[in-house]
Structure 1
Amino acid sequence: MHRPPATYQVNGAAIRATRKRRGLGIRETAEAAGISRSYLQRLETGIRSQMRPPAFAALRQTLHAEESELLVPHEET
């Protein structure tokens, strides 16, 4: 059975770019995703880079984004 990771390593710049591309403000995005404005701001600026699955899913849904769009890319070896 597939389990989601304990946390997701998110790409703050991608979150910000996606939010702006959708024409959303930081406050309205945070409210719609059920997270605080300051938490979203810390994610976007890279101060924080980990999100728990429920918060990540809510943010993805709010931004209408695919999981891969908001995560730090994995390097292929």
Structure 2
Amino acid sequence: MTAPRATYEVDGAAIRRRRMERGIQIADLARTAGITSSYLSRLETGVRRQMRPPTYTALRASLGIKADDDQLLAHGEPNTE
């Protein structure tokens, strides 16, 4: 039996690109996703690359990305560590 996935490794540039395409300010996206602007900024710049599943789900939903679309993941798959 495998353990639940602890974190997702995200592609910060993909997050930023999607946010910019949608014309959303960083503070607005952070508020909608339930995270801080500084956390979102660290994700976009690659300083931080790991997200817990509920946070990743909220960010993806805030960007209008479908549940089965993992375009924000760094390698297309969740980190199993």
TM-score range, shorter chain: 0.7 to 0.9
Q: Which has the higher contact order (CA 8 A, sep 6+)?
A: 2
Mark the runs of 5 or more structure 1 residues left unpaired by the alignment: none
Alignment RMSD, CA only? 1.8
- Larger helix share, 1 or 2: 1
For 1:3 and 1:40, the matched residues in 2 are separated by 27
Identical counterparts, % of pairs: 53
Large movers: runs of 4+ above 4 Å: 1-4
Aligned-pair CA distance for 1:73: 2.1
> Are residues 25 and 10 of structure 1, via their aligned partners in 2, closer, same or farther at CA, if it must alter by over 3 Å?
same
TM-score normalized by structure 1?
A: 0.87
Query: How many positions carry a matched residue from both structures?
Result: 74
Mark the runs of 5 or more structure 2 residues left unpaired by the alignment: 77-81
Determine the structure 1 residue equivalent to 2:70: 68
